Amino acid sequence: MQMQEEWFIPISALNQYTYCPLRCWYMHVACEFVDNIHTVEGSLLHERVDTGEGTRRGELWQIRSVYLYSKTYGLVGKADLIEERSGELYPVEFKKGRRGDWGNDKIQLCAQALALEEMLKREIPRGFLYYAATGRRQEVRFTEDLRQETLITIDRVRELLRSGARPSVSYVAKKCKGCSLYRICLPRETALIKKQLTGRTRSV
């Protein structure tokens, strides 16, 4: 079954959603975005790699900034880099920081692989995340579990964008402190006010 065009979602929204559903809502429903040091560094890194150029060195063939789509899953997006080495083809996604604990980068990469598989009609068993802070590539295997998790996330993001309902999330210091939307979202302050209001209601 093919998805209707109006239900196509950006692959990058899967990353935002997995990091924090509210962040995805702010960016893709409320259309709010604020840069911080992390997002500016990330944009500069992508500017450097988004050249659209293809190169070949021996067995290695590389093409940068490749548009992707999947009619089956209703996805559109861009891969930073597609490589083919010794007959194996895979996506590489560039991230400016270090590997996080949230699984969001893997979901984004897996969605890129799903789109590539559909476009090229070949299996993509793995891809790589390149973290600029460490200068290392991390291999990501597109296991059945990761594929399932990615499909579930696609459904959840589509539902979020369709309904427009603001998700309710909790303040998580490690996550929220690095979030460029902190000053709009004020998650800690909101949690404190909610706590005070609940206490007041109980004492009435």
User: And the tokens for 129?
Assistant: 């995340």
Which CB atom, from 73 or from 182, has the smaller least distance to ligand SF4?
182
**What is the closest distance, in whole angstroms, from the C-beta atom of residue 189 to ligand SF4 in the complex?**
10
Paired sense of beta strands 75-85 and 60-70, if any: antiparallel
Cβ(18)–Cβ(101) under 8 Å?
no
Whole-angstrom distance, CA of residue 85 vs CA of residue 171: 43
Which CB atom, from 20 or from 113, has the smaller least distance to ligand SF4?
20
For 137-170, b where at least 16 C-beta lie within 10 A, e where not — what string? ebebebeeebeebbeebbebbbebbeeeeeeebe
Amino acid in the structure at residue 196:
Q
Stretch that binds ligand SF4, among 4-12, 120-128, 141-149, 173-181 (CB under 6 A): 173-181
**What is the closest distance, in whole angstroms, from the C-beta atom of residue 175 to ligand SF4 in the complex?**
5
Stretch that binds ligand SF4, among 21-29, 33-41, 122-130, 157-165 (CB under 6 A): 21-29
Question: Mask of contacts with ligand SF4, 23-52, x by CB under 6 A?
Answer: x--x--------------------------
Which CB atom, from 102 or from 128, has the smaller least distance to ligand SF4?
102
Stretch that binds ligand SF4, among 43-51, 74-82, 134-142, 171-179 (CB under 6 A): 171-179
Which CB atom, from 32 or from 53, has the smaller least distance to ligand SF4?
32
> 3-state SS of the chain: helix, strand, coil percent to 5?
45, 25, 30
Whole-angstrom distance, CA of residue 79 vs CA of residue 18: 18
Question: Mask of contacts with ligand SF4, 83-112, x by CB under 6 A?
Answer: ------------------------------
Whole-angstrom distance, CA of residue 126 vs CA of residue 63: 17
Gyration radius from the chain CA atoms: 19
Which of 9, 13, 20, 66 forms a contact with ligand SF4 (CB under 6 A)?
20
Residues near ligand SF4 (CB under 6 A) are 20, 22-23, 26, 169, 175-176, 179, 181-182, 185, 187
